[in-house]
Structure 1
Amino acid sequence: MNGAQVERFFATLKAANPSPQTELQYASVFELLTAVLLSAQATDVGVNKATRRLFAVANTPAQILALGVDGLESYIKTIGLYRSKAKHLLQTCQILIDQHGGEVPRSREALEALPGVGRKTANVVLNVAFGEPTMAVDTHIFRVSNRTGLAPGKTPLAVELGLMKRVPTDYLVDAHHWLILHGRYVCQARKPLCEACAVVRECDFGRHLKSSTA
């Protein structure tokens, strides 16, 4: 995918969805951090179902800590790896209170120092909560970037760095939302829906598919 194709790719996605949003439900930066921490190897739908119940009774670091391990686990037990996530969330809440006045920090270094928060989670918080042009590479973005030829890479970090170089500045803040949604609903893992894809003309995979069936 060359530069002109990349520009058309994102212009098309933007025209279809001018203000893309995360599908995780949250009402504060802390709720966002919690939801993203819980979302590893889980669906947004599953996380939202659990956090709706959790946030109704505890949506601050102090309130989460007050639940204790057993109390917290009772709200998130439907989510995969819930025991380790509960442990990490409680540790994170303690650090937020002890070191950050109960607030979520807005630096990558401070975010990645929180238990259960890796580079991807930090990127989501920096982007969604604070509007920074970061790229949170999940399985959808990794697949779309490689399949389309947008930013091929063998690791999530390689794809992230490639995207940061290739995505035009005007699209950077929203780019990871467009790519996640495109991977989730159109450029799916088992069978991409090329016949319903608005950017198939810009995509390496789509062009190769057309040439092979011509």
Structure 2
Amino acid sequence: MSTSPTAPSVPVRLLICDDHAVVRAGLLALLGSAPDIEVVGEAGSGAEAVALAARLVPDVVLMDLQLGPGIDGVEATRRITAPRDGAPYVLVLTTYDTDADITRAIEAGATGYLLKAERPEELFAAIHSAAQGRTALSPPVAGRVMARMRSPRPVLTARELDILGQLAHGLGNRDIARALFISEATVKTHLGRIYDKLGVDTRAGAVAVAKEQRLLP
């Protein structure tokens, strides 16, 4: 009995976003050898990625997090994955693996989170997984996610994280208020909540615990 020929697989349409031209060129060369992956465009900024994703309608956007001036990879991910018909999946490819970076990316809608140290075959597999809506995580990232689930860290709001970041840079209340365009009274209120959540009573203590628990990027 004869068998029908296997239907050719449809390649995954991929958009690359990285602000370094050399990195993009390397990815283009690498992915050009990948089976069933078609690079349909490349972007050097978050805004360009958002625009190209809307125009080219890729299956997956390969997204770096740090993109220089303008919106970062997290905000670009949020805009690209906003609920609508045909919205692509976003697979983060970055060198940053802090809890804060991972959490922000996943909350923004990223389907997967890969580190640039991964082997090419792992990247290819992750792209195909992302195209099917399946989660793809580098082993170190998966380990962090599991550890966080087993031992939940304090949950800080986005504003509290902003203020914590300013504390880590040594800014006082007045400078923090100016940097974030809020009042000093508001800064003090947020600081009190931060201290309560982290179980500390000093600025230095808050920064130390935040670094220990990797709450800062």
Q: TM-score, normalised by structure 2?
A: 0.27
Larger RCO of the pair (alpha carbons < 8 Å, separation 6+): 1
Query: What is the TM-score normalised by the length of structure 1?
Result: 0.27
Q: Which has the larger radius of gyration?
A: 2
Structure that is richer in helix per residue: 1
